[in-house]
Structure 1
Amino acid sequence: MVFYNRLLSSVLLAILYASYSNAAARPATYSTQNVKDLGNGVKIQMFHPPSNYSTFGEGFDTPSTFSDAPIENKTVSFVASQLKVDSGKVSFKSGYANENGESFGYAQQVHNGVPIANAVANVAFKNNKVVAFGQSFVDTSKAADSKPSVDVSTVIPKVEQTLQGKKNDIEPTVKYLAQQDGSVALVHAFQVENDEAGTFYEAFADAHTGELLSVTDFVAQASYRVVPIFKLDIKEGLELLTNPALTSASPQGWHYAKGVNTTDTSGNNVITYKGATTATTKQSSSGLVFDYTYSPGVGPTEGANLDASRTNAFYLINAYHDTLYQYGFTESKFNFQLDNLGKGGAGNDPVLVSVQDAAGTNNANFATPPDGQSGRCRMYIFTLTNPNRDGTLSNDIVIHEMTHGLSNRLVGGGTATCLQALESRALGEGWSDAVADWFVHSDSPQITDFVFVPWLFNNPRGARSKPYSTSMTTNGYTYADIGQMNEEHYMGEVWANILHNVYAQLVGTRGFSTTARTSASGTQGNIVFLQLLVDSLALSPCNPTFISARNAFIQADINRYGGANKCLLWRVFASRGMGFSAANYANAFDVPAGC
């Protein structure tokens, strides 16, 4: 305790806190709140305590006793010491170690033995040094009594009616929930789904009044401002690929599920189907051959198009799984697999992809529940052309949706609850577009503008307000623009465009790897970019802001590459208004000393 208190009082860390930790000064609307419109006349105000987040560059030393201590002990001890609370008020949630000396711990605040759902902390260690710390712990002096006075069975029917769904098989729990007025409510927490409507919530109902106080929305929608257009699509042609699985990520191949070798579009990582999970596509001939040709001249349900759709989705998400596995989205880091093969994590959560889903049109979404529950991707038919078009045949929208699973799992340590405030959901949209951008550019070193989704509506403008571009004329968005926005997809465009510029600068400076989809071992720009993006998600605090996401990205470079790209990153962020002194949605174009 004395060690940490003395260290944090030092001038050096005071400077670091002043430089990097801006969450408390930021307007609360984006970084701590969100309003969920249920579409039935009910709007729910969602509140998340602001995160205080700091990164520490090369880090500061921890006690020698930490070197061999389990991540659970290090995390609880550090958080308790930093926040001057008893260790019994800190509950370890999850953690893991990387091969390069990094380890990550995620914790939750506890009051009277009850966890506080939205009061969390995350600590990152590098070679026995602390390199990042985020926390949103709250004052519990106004906490409600810890014994419920309303039985959960009387609450569930009312909440089901409000959320227009049914409680699933996950058992309810009792938690605390920090409120905007400084009180801490005792709540019954349970999950409510509507499979037909594509909704999936964790509901928080007051355990003393029965009132629905808040929700966690596990579904990330891909809404479009203009008619959606997808770039990688059926127009570019089909190829018959042989053995595309990477054995390092899927050692038994894609058609293996807990001792069973399948002959349809189901396996350890993903199941693709229409209607029911058993309605998969069977192999077209023996030897696991799925040779179905999609014909864009007829509707998505005609001829072999449905089988081609399920086959494409199965290939895409498996290939995504295998590539991101190379960059650290593995079993112990909360990925999606039925069988985790003894490598950590919860397992029993392959991605379920419903193609040509009947719940909607002209859209797509991905629901990300916590580790151990399947991610659920819904792909819809687009009805704005004749014939209609199948969104599953546009690769970048599928990748966009899958990346919601990546970001929601990695930020917060597998809880899937830490991208709920408006600004953090905007970051989620930006990360999803950025990873789709990365895959689109993964076959060529040429830096070109990225237009999200051009096929479904024959419109070269794409689904976003501007192409992602290094040109200020083509896309002049800066950090300050999000202060004038109030919708997560528009705000997310700003972040995605900044990341597009980061990618361009890294590739222009460090070169391009033609094997980046199958190996993350190089230091070429495209490898570095995706590695830093994935690493930064694990470093980010719960409900990050644009500034904390920037800091996590730069800290990730210090952790993995010794800061080799630090100044390059600062210059790119600064070029779009996210310089060293940027705060409160006001642009700054400065970089730190030494850059």
Structure 2
Amino acid sequence: MKKTLQFFVLFSVGLVTFAQDYNSKVQEYLNTNRQKLGLSQSDVNDWFVESTANSEATGITNYYVKQNYQGVEVFNSVSNFWIKNDAVINADVKFVQNLSSKINTATPVVDVLEAFNYAHQNLGENAVSHQVLDYNGGRIVLSNGNLDDSATAKIVYASVNDYLHLAWDLTYYSQDYKHLWSVRIDAVNGELLEKHDWVISCDFKGCADPEHHHDSQNFFSYKKMFNVPTTTLLSESSTYNVLPFEIESPNHGSRQLLSSPYDLVASPYGWHDINQIDGAEYTYTRGNNVFAQEDQNGNNGNGNYPDGGASLVFDFPYGGIGVAATTYTDAATTNLFYMNNIMHDVWYHYGFNEVNGNFQKNNYGNGGTTTFFGDFVYADAQDGSGTNNANFSTPVDGSSPRMQMYLWDVGPVPYYLTINSPSSIAGDYYAADNAFDPGHIDLPALPGLTTDLVLYQDATPDNTDACETAVNAAQLAGKIVVIRRGTCNFTVKVLNAQNAGAAAVIIVNNDTANPNQYVNMSGADAGITIPAVFVTYNIGEALIAEMASGTVNATLKNDDVTFINSDGDFDNGVIAHEYTHGISTRLTGGASNSSCLQSSEQMGEGWSDWAALMMQVQAGDQPTDVKGIATFLYSEPTNGTGIRQYPYSTDMSIDPLTFGDTNGMWYTYNGSDYIDVHSVGTVWATMLWDLTWAYIDKYGFDPDKYNGTGGNNKVMQLVLDAMKLQPCNPSFVSGRDAIIAADQATTGGEDYCMIWEVFARRGLGVNASSGTNSGIAGINDQTEDFTEPAPGPNCVLSANYFENTDMFKVYPNPANNNLNISILNYSGKLNIQLFDLNGRVVVEQKVDSFNLESTINIQSLQAGVYMLKVQGDNLSYTQKIIKQ
């Protein structure tokens, strides 16, 4: 019964009807352009529309089309067709050329159960029992060992060295839930053709960035099947004690009681409704957009959830980082519920709505894929399956994603050393305490020990290493004594200083090859009665240099705070980051495809960081401010670096990243090579953050994140529109081009110059190249360029502007009634003329402010051949036209 319900949900999808006239437009485009694309007629005859997307801002509907061979899908052959005014105005066609000649077979030798056995063998896994549960639409649903989450399989054609092998496309969780495998198994010989682990694994203490992963598949669990709504209660008036979304974390501000914070456009019935009738169906942290509950045992099971009662008041205490997380689970779950709903509501206004695949139980009749159980977010608070982590899984439209937030054990760095004067070096410095046993003496409690620093001197070189009796004991008495690391034991140094009257000791590392390295001072001497700490070469030598020219006053103190853990459920930035993985996955390549962010340069981590920054940007912020990600979870101050290599800032002395830095962003783990997606994403987010401030500088800042008209609002719209326009598996270059195209479609290119200036400044200029953008090789062949387009109206008309036929389109041709002229990235005056073969002007139309395209009526003309001439600022274009 359990498994039956699983596949029932999996295939209880709503009907999506695509307009046949649009299908015919796609076919017409393919027929007309197939030779230019190197495709045969048979290559373009068998395809299907997997999903569509649209934007009210651009007026463009995107058709995401996949190629078939005899009804079998060519794996991930996603083509993106832009349709506006009933015509295809642009297309990114990914069809395979000469398809039939590359097919190895149409008949599988290996059956589906054998394919799973081959997969387990190739991946080094124990054998797992699979039973077929259902066949539907070419997809097979199977049991998956002891897991509630089912496995899926379908026959596809997979690319192998420019040939296409019939293959089984398998998706399943490993039995320990550590891997979510997406693999292609050759349907003839069982060979592993391709594998992707949708769980990005990285030991937090061993990697530059904390681990978080993003799963992409269509899975369901039995536990989701029996959630019975409560009786309708009352019109929703709700209260939540949370961190308002503009406040990133408890370090950035305080929690507040917010009343009914839902948006009436995005969530017209509140956050606890699912039936489109006034009155909440749930009094706990569940509703149309998200179901938040704790998962402290880490099994994705039915956890506890806070109940706000009939009045929907969610006001629970939070004790901070110094108390056990179990004492504030209700507060954490409430904040997680709130922030997920906020993300749903805010980004709804920028086009992440029902028709574009957003996350809702009930689509309220507004389009999109409708399923029996819906696709609201499962949000797990204080997930016990790991620490120092966060993740978001994004299945296809109609299937619920899952967010998992974890506890973090990265405690505050104890800044035991404070330099009080001189002002040139004043500040807090990290100093490592010793591990003498016996002989360890605690640093004094606040206010600590304050005195001048004095350099130890003995009679034998190196005469500052305290390996012999001090010759300046009179100066050392009662002072904090500075000693260079040398050949004798640490305990010997400390005891010598103590015997000379020192109150405390600072030992300076002497490792010039690793000038920022700390070491663990170990040893044993029960006679030691003073505290001793260790500093790096760079810190210590800077102190010694300053001491040589004057007095340095310092304080040693034990300012340790009680720390048990920090909780990701209170980091609104990290929650926003994770949620945005769902947005970028659903909007890139269409909501029915979760496999369009696999390229070497895929920018998923970048969009997520950027969206988190956009949610927290406030009036008074400056473009050069230091903005770190997850500083709260990293126990850093609010202006800390965070978990990325550099914090975000438009100041290139703070954040120096450029496109060229993406080269080499990969690593080896357990013998396999992986793209360092977090580092790659940081470069993209850096560019988007620069773009944000360029927009704010031009259009101002609007604190209304929902309906504002400021530069921040404009760039939020722009970036989401671009996600829909970009191809499946985009590169930095194609992502940039999509942003430029989105600007052209909405404003006629008003901000074209500004956009190019921003991207060129970070190395993504006109001549930048993404290279192959596939595999490890594809993250080692990028070429950066800082060139902007040639000057002119909207910076467009460089010498080779019209070499790209997608930039200038005249359609349809031949034509009957209307002729459309489309020019990407141009706005301004335009004069359109049509000449007959005798040179007479038979049609003329002047356009004062051209925006993307214009239409002229040629219905009255006789059938025949005409010449079209289009002239504008620095623009002249001629093309032959046939009137039918």
Q: What is the TM-score of this pair, normalised by structure 2?
A: 0.56
Amino acid at match of 2:615: F
Letter in 2 for 1:428: G
Residue in structure 2 matching 1:451, options 628, 632, 641: 628
On the 8 A contact 2:55/2:721 being kept in 1, the answer is: no
Aligned to 1:467: 647
Choose which of 377, 383, 391 in structure 1 pairs with 2:409. Answer: 383
Give the one of 687, 690, 693 matched to 1:504.
693
Give the strand-richer structure, 1 or 2. Answer: 2
Distance 2:304 2:622 in 1: 38
Residue-by-residue CA offset, 1:404-429 (whole Å, 9 max, x unaligned): 111111001111110012211xx111
Name whichever of 322-331 and 340-349 sits farther off.
340-349
* Offset at residue 496 of structure 1 (A): 0.8
Residue 431 in 1 paired to residue 431 in 2?
A: no
In the alignment, residue 478 of structure 1 is paired with which amino acid? T
| CA shift in 2, pair 1:75/1:353, >3 Å | farther
Measure, in 2, the Cα distance between the counterparts of 1:221 and 1:81. Answer: 46
**Secondary structure of the equivalent of 1:406?**
helix
1:106 matched to 2:89? The reply is no
CA distance in structure 1 between the partners assigned to 2:88 and 2:393 by the alignment = 33
1:273 aligns with 2:293: yes
2-structure distance, mates of 1:163, 1:332: 41
Matches within 5 A, 1:47-446: 70-83=21-34, 84=39, 85-86=41-42, 87-100=44-57, 101-128=59-86, 130-139=88-97, 140=99, 141-159=101-119, 162=123, 167=144, 168-169=149-150, 171-179=152-160, 181-194=161-174, 197=177, 199-219=179-199, 225=208, 232-235=248-251, 236-258=253-275, 261-275=281-295, 276=300, 278-303=302-327, 305-347=328-370, 348-385=374-411, 386-414=563-591, 415-424=593-602, 427-442=603-618, 444=620, 446=622
Show the counterpart of 1:556.
Answer: 742
Q: Which residue of 2 aligns with 1:56?
A: none
Give the CA deviation at 1:78. 2.5
* C-alpha contact (below 8 Å) 1:205/1:213 kept by paired residues: yes
Deviations 1:348-394 (A, max 9, x none): 21111122212211111111121122111111111222311111111
Q: What residue ranges of structure 1 are gaps of 5+ in the alignment? A: 1-67
> Structure 2: where are the runs of 5+ without partners?
1-18, 129-142, 212-245, 412-562, 667-675, 772-781, 796-884
Amino acid at match of 1:159: A
Distance in 2, Cα, partners of 1:555 & 1:467: 29
- Separation in structure 2 between the aligned mates of residue 112 and residue 176 of structure 1, nearest angstrom: 11
Single out whichever of 145-154 and 277-286 deviates more from structure 2: 277-286
**1:130 deviation in Å?**
4.1
| Bigger-Rg structure (1/2) | 2
Q: Which has the higher contact order (CA 8 A, sep 6+)?
A: 1
More helix by share: 1
Residue aligning to 2:730:
544
User: 1:444 touches 1:514 (CA, 8 Å); kept in 2?
Assistant: no
Which shifted more, 482-491 or 552-561? 482-491
CA offsets per residue over residues 114-140 of structure 1, 9 Å max, x none?
011121200113344544322322243
Moved more, 114-123 or 436-445: 436-445
Match of 1:519 in 2: 707
Are residues 417 and 129 of structure 1, via their aligned partners in 2, closer, same or farther at CA, if it must alter by over 3 Å?
A: same
Offset from partner CA, 1:206-239 (integer Å, 9 cap, x none): 22222332245555779762579x9811232111
Q: CA deviation at 1:443?
A: 5.3
Cα deviation code 1:7-63 (max 9, x no counterpart): xxxxxxxxxxxxxxxxxxxxxxxxxxxxxxxxxxxxxxxxxxxxxxxxxxxxxxxxx
State the 1:170 CA deviation. Answer: 6.0
Counterparts in 2 of 1:411 and 1:534: CA distance versus 1, 3 Å: same
Give the secondary structure class of the aligned counterpart of 1:504.
helix
Per-residue CA deviations over 1:561-591 (Å, capped at 9, x if unaligned) read 2211111000111111111121242222222
Cα distance in 2, alignment partners of residues 320 and 444 from structure 1: 23
The answer to whether the 8 Å contact 2:321/2:565 transfers is: no
Equivalent residue letter for 1:243 = S
For residues 257 and 30 of structure 2, what CA distance do their matches in structure 1 show?
52
Number of matched pairs: 521
In 1: Cα distance, 2:178 partner to 2:312 partner: 31
* Structure 1 position 246, deviation (Å): 0.8
SS in 2 for 1:419: coil
CA distance in 2, matches of 1:586, 1:231: 38
SS at match of 1:105: strand
SS of structure 2 residue aligned to 1:257? coil
Task: Give the TM-score, by structure 1 length.
Answer: 0.82
Change (3 A) 1:197 1:382: farther
**For the residues of structure 1 that align with 2:264 and 2:21, how far apart are their CA atoms?**
30
The answer on whether the counterparts of 2:171 and 2:180 sit within 8 Å (CA) in structure 1 is yes
Separation (CA, whole Å) in 1 of partners of 2:174 and 2:268: 35
d(CA) in 1 for partners of 2:181 and 2:683?
A: 27
Inter-partner Cα distance in structure 2 for 1:565 and 1:221: 40
- Taking the aligned partners of 2:175 and 2:60, their CA distance within structure 1 comes to 39
1:218–1:368 CA contact under 8 A, matched in 2: no
Identity over the aligned pairs, expressed in percent?
33
Q: Which amino acid aligns with 1:429?
A: E
Which AA in structure 2 matches 1:321? H
Report the secondary structure of 1:317's partner residue. helix
What is the aligned counterpart of 1:491 among 672, 680, 683? Answer: 680
CA distance in 2, matches of 1:195, 1:407: 28
Q: Give the Cα separation in 2 of the matches to 1:540 and 1:163.
A: 37
CA, structure 1 residues 428+273, in 2 after alignment: closer, same or farther (shift >3 Å)? same
